[in-house]
């Protein structure tokens, strides 16, 4: 039975799902070195934001197939190291959207009306109504940075409060922003005009310290910033200084560069101009059930050999697409494997052409499957859909994708050309009926052959007796031929011969085949 390690506190609903297929060990709060020590035992790891999944941990996870992050941000996972090792990383992109958006709005209103400090004051026995004069959000301008799932939901709530909405998101169209009720503007304008600025971006190289001393200087002295996205998007020292100097009016922060927030952080000493919560954006009962179930279902599926629906390191390979394309992926993998073995040596480039009706399909999964096939003789089970692209890139294999809808053989076909240190080979293939893979040409010689485990391909001159000689030669080595086909373009010209055989070819037989008059090249292939 597979084993799953749950190393952060996760809602029981997810654990119940995992227990249907695996032994689940819940071990929260283990130190990093202990996690590294026990990783080799586990097939899957489920975390929230508490566990930092390092390269060292991933490399120790020799059985690891999947890392499930019960939440959105995967910045606590070394995704590159996981990808390199062929481990799927999944998250729950929508499970806590509402919770995080509502927390951002709650932070904005709390900041506007000093609710946390007023509450603390009353609880301490005071009654100081004049000390907590707030500001309304009605008709104020809200600048939303990052108009994705959470940013859009914040916009919907803010619109209901009749705020004016500006948004900055370089990956969102003007039309989409308008649909949500936001005017898309550049960052400078947003910083100058907004009364409240709310951040909803991932932490990337571009968003690190997006809010810094320089941009804080552009804001209104009445501006207030809310960050329920990721620590590190704000330069905390610069923010603390800008609030202390009265350069801006305040901030409400749920996330920090270092969590837990350092005891001596200057952010802790800004009185009622700042509100701090301990990364509570997703902390609602509903969100915790959503993310736990969402990620546990994906871990269960991957352990059962099914695809994951929200893998962050195999973009584009969504389960519905994978399911529909499965026969074509098998075709691509077979052809990739075949063309790589025919090319031999070091492959420098792979041209993938989707022909006929196949030209209308999504290219990426087909390319990934072709690369997986191409690399599998060298990497065996170490290559999979997760790491095939990275492995190819690291080997310097240039990939060219083309579509050619004008080719009208079969209902759709795939053409792969591998160019390498030993020359260039091209194979094409198609599906017969719904799912039967056929190799339909080799080096542009037409054939129609079902792939088999052991095959021999020759290039030869089409002449009488050659087929018989190869047949007798293989017979003399006790090799049983299951099928044989010749592809040629003109009579007595160049041709290819394809033999499917029942057993692996004995050592040295290729050298014997090459001695047969008329044979120019011979390749043994194992698919």
Q: Which residue ranges make up the site for ligand NAD (CB under 6 A)?
A: 72-73, 96-97, 100, 145-151, 168-172, 200-202, 204, 206-207, 228-230, 254-255, 279, 281-282
Distance CA 469, CA 467 (A): 5
- Minimum separation from the CB atom of position 71 to ligand MLT (A): 3
C-beta of 479: minimal distance to ligand NAD in Å? 56
Quick one: what does residue 171 bind among ligand MLT, ligand NAD, none, with the CB cut-off 5 to 8 Å set by partner type? ligand NAD
From the CB of 201, what's the least distance to ligand NAD, in Å? 4
Which residues are 184's β-sheet partners?
167
Sign of CA dihedral 318, 285, 279, 10: negative
Active-site residue among 48, 114, 200, 279?
A: 279
46 binds, among ligand MLT, ligand NAD, none (CB under 5 to 8 A by kind): none
Strand 398-404 versus strand 347-356 pairing type: parallel
CB 416 within 8 A of CB 339: yes
Our finding on whether 146 is near ligand MLT (CB under 6 A) is: no
Question: Which has the closest alpha carbon to 424: 348, 489, 493?
Answer: 348
Q: Quick one: what does residue 190 bind among ligand NAD, ligand MLT, none, with the CB cut-off 5 to 8 Å set by partner type? A: none
What is the distance between the alpha carbons of residues 164 and 136, in angstroms, rounded to a whole number?
A: 13
Torsion sign across C-alpha atoms 339, 342, 345, 349: negative
Q: Which of 168/196 has CB closer to ligand NAD?
A: 168
Letters for 267-296 (x = contact with ligand MLT by CB under 6 A, - = none) are ------------x-xx--------------
Q: How far is CA 14 from the centre of its chain?
A: 22
31 exposure class (CB count in 10 Å sphere: 0-12, 13-18, 19+): exposed
87 phi/psi in degrees, rounded to 5: -100, 130
Size of interface with ligand MLT, in residues (CB under 6 A): 9
On the question of a cis peptide bond just before residue 260, with omega within 30 degrees of 0, the verdict is yes
Q: Write the interaction track for ligand MLT spanning residues 91-110; mark x where CB under 6 A is met and - where it is not.
A: -----x--------------
Cβ proximity to ligand NAD: between 207 and 247 the closer is 207
Q: How far apart are CA 288 and CA 70, in angstroms?
A: 8
Least Å distance, CB 237 to ligand NAD, is 21
Pick the stretch among 70-78, 256-264, 329-337, 471-479 that binds ligand MLT (CB under 6 A).
Answer: 70-78
Span interacting with ligand MLT, options 22-30, 66-74, 139-147, 309-317, rule CB under 6 A:
66-74
Of 155 and 339, which has the nearer Cβ to ligand NAD?
Answer: 155
Q: Looking at 126, 162, 178, 259, which residue is catalytic?
A: 259
**Which residue in 10, 42, 44, 49 binds ligand MLT (CB under 6 A)?**
49
Cβ 33 to ligand MLT shortest distance, Å:
24
- Measured between alpha carbons, how far is 35 from 285 in angstroms, rounded to an integer? 28
Residue whose tokens read 């100097």: 245
One residue of 46, 66, 72, 89 binding ligand MLT per CB under 6 A: 72
Altogether, the residues listed in the chain come to a count of 527
C-alpha span between 181 and 479 (Å, rounded): 72
Active site residue 259: yes
Catalytic residue among 230, 300, 425, 438: 230
Residue with tokens 């959000």, as numbered in its chain: 137
Distances (CA, A) of 159 to 110, 227, 261, 290: 18, 19, 32, 26
Shortest Cβ distance from residue 229 to ligand MLT (Å)? 9
Q: How far is the CB of 278 from ligand MLT (least distance, A)?
A: 10
- The residue whose Cβ lies closest to ligand NAD is 148
Cα–Cα distance list, 403 to 229, 322, 344, 443 (Å) = 40, 19, 26, 19
| Closest C-alpha to 415, from 406, 388, 519, 423 | 406
> Which residue, 196 or 445, has its beta carbon nearer to ligand NAD?
196
The nearer residue to ligand NAD, 143 or 151, going by C-beta atoms, is 151
Q: Say if residues 391 and 377 touch (Cβ distance below 8 Å).
A: no
In angstroms, rounded to a whole number, what is the distance separating the alpha carbons of residues 183 and 384?
43
Nearer to ligand MLT, 289 or 516 (CB): 289
Which of ligand NAD, ligand MLT, none does 206 bind, CB closer than 5 to 8 A by kind?
A: ligand NAD
279 is catalytic: yes
DSSP 246: T
Minimum CB–partner distance for residue 46 and ligand MLT (Å): 12
Of 71, 86, 146, 429, the one binding ligand MLT by CB under 6 A:
71
Per the structure block, which two tokens stand in for 17? 């799902």
Residue nearest to ligand MLT (CB): 71
CB atoms within 10 A of CB 268: 12
Q: Which of residues 97 and 341 has its CB atom nearest to ligand NAD in the complex?
A: 97
Report how far residue 129's alpha carbon sits from residue 111's, in angstroms, rounded to the nearest whole number: 16
Partner touching 377 among ligand MLT, ligand NAD, none, CB below 5 to 8 Å by kind: none
Cross-strand partners of 431: 437
Nearer to ligand MLT, 256 or 457 (CB): 256
Q: Which does 48 bind (CB under 5 to 8 A by kind): ligand NAD, ligand MLT, none?
A: ligand MLT
The Cα–Cα gap between 279 and 156 comes to: 23
Residues forming contacts to ligand MLT in the complex (CB under 6 A) are 48-49, 71-73, 96, 279, 281-282
Residues with active-site annotation = 230, 259, 279
């Amino acid at each position: 039975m597979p084993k799953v390690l749950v190393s952060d506190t996760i809602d029981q609903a997810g654990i119940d799902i995992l227990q249907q297929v695996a032994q689940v060990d819940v071990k929260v709060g283990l130190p990093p070195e202990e996690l590294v020590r026990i990783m080799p035992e586990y097939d899957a790891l489920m975390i929230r934001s508490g566990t930092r999944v390092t390269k060292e941990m991933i490399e120790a996870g020799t059985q690891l197939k999947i890392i499930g992050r019960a939440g959105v941000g995967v910045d606590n996972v070394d995704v590159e190291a996981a990808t390199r090792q062929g481990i799927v990383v999944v998250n729950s992109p929508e499970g806590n959207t509402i919770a995080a958006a509502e927390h951002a709005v709650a932070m904005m209103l709390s900041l506007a009306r000093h609710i946390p400090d007023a509450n603390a004051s009353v609880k301490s026995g005071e009654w100081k109504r004049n000390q907590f004069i707030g500001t309304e959000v009605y008709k104020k301008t809200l600048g939303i940075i990052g108009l994705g799932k959470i940013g859009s939901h914040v916009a919907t709530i803010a619109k209901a409060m009749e705020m004016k909405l500006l948004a900055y998101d370089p990956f969102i169209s003007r039309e989409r922003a308008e649909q949500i009720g936001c005017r898309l503007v550049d960052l400078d304008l947003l910083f100058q005009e907004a009364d409240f600025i709310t951040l909803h971006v991932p932490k990337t190289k571009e968003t690190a310290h997006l809010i810094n001393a320089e941009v804080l200087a552009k804001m209104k002295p009445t501006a207030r910033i809310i960050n329920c996205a990721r620590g590190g998007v704000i330069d905390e020292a610069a923010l603390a200084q800008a609030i202390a100097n009265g350069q801006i009016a305040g901030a409400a922060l749920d996330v920090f560069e270092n969590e837990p927030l350092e005891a001596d952080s200057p952010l802790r000493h800004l009185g009622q101009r700042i509100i701090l919560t301990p990364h509570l954006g997703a902390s609602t009962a509903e969100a915790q059930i959503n993310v736990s179930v969402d990620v546990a279902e994906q871990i269960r599926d991957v352990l059962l050999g099914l695809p994951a629906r929200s893998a962050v390191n195999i973009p584009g390979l969504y389960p519905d697409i994978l399911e529909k394309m499965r026969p074509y992926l098998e075709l691509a993998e077979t052809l990739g494997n075949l063309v790589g073995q025919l090319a031999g040596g070091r492959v420098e480039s792979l041209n993938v052409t989707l022909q006929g009706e196949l030209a209308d399909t999504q290219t990426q999964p087909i390319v990934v499957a072709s690369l997986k096939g191409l690399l599998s003789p060298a990497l065996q089970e170490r290559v999979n859909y997760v790491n095939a692209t990275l492995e190819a890139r690291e080997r310097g294999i240039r990939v060219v994708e083309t579509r050619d809808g004008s080719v009208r053989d079969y209902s759709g076909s795939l053409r792969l050309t591998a160019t390498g240190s030993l020359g260039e080979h091209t194979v094409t293939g198609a599906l017969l009926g719904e799912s039967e893979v056929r190799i339909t040409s080799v080096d542009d010689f037409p054939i129609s052959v079902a792939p088999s485990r052991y095959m021999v391909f020759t290039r030869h001159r089409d002449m009488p007796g050659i087929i018989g000689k190869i047949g007798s030669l293989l017979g003399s080595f006790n090799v049983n031929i299951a099928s044989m086909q010749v592809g040629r373009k003109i009579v007595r010209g160049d041709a290819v011969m394809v033999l499917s055989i029942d057993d692996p070819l004995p050592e040295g037989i290729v050298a014997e085949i090459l001695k047969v008059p008329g044979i120019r090249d011979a390749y043994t292939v194992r698919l």
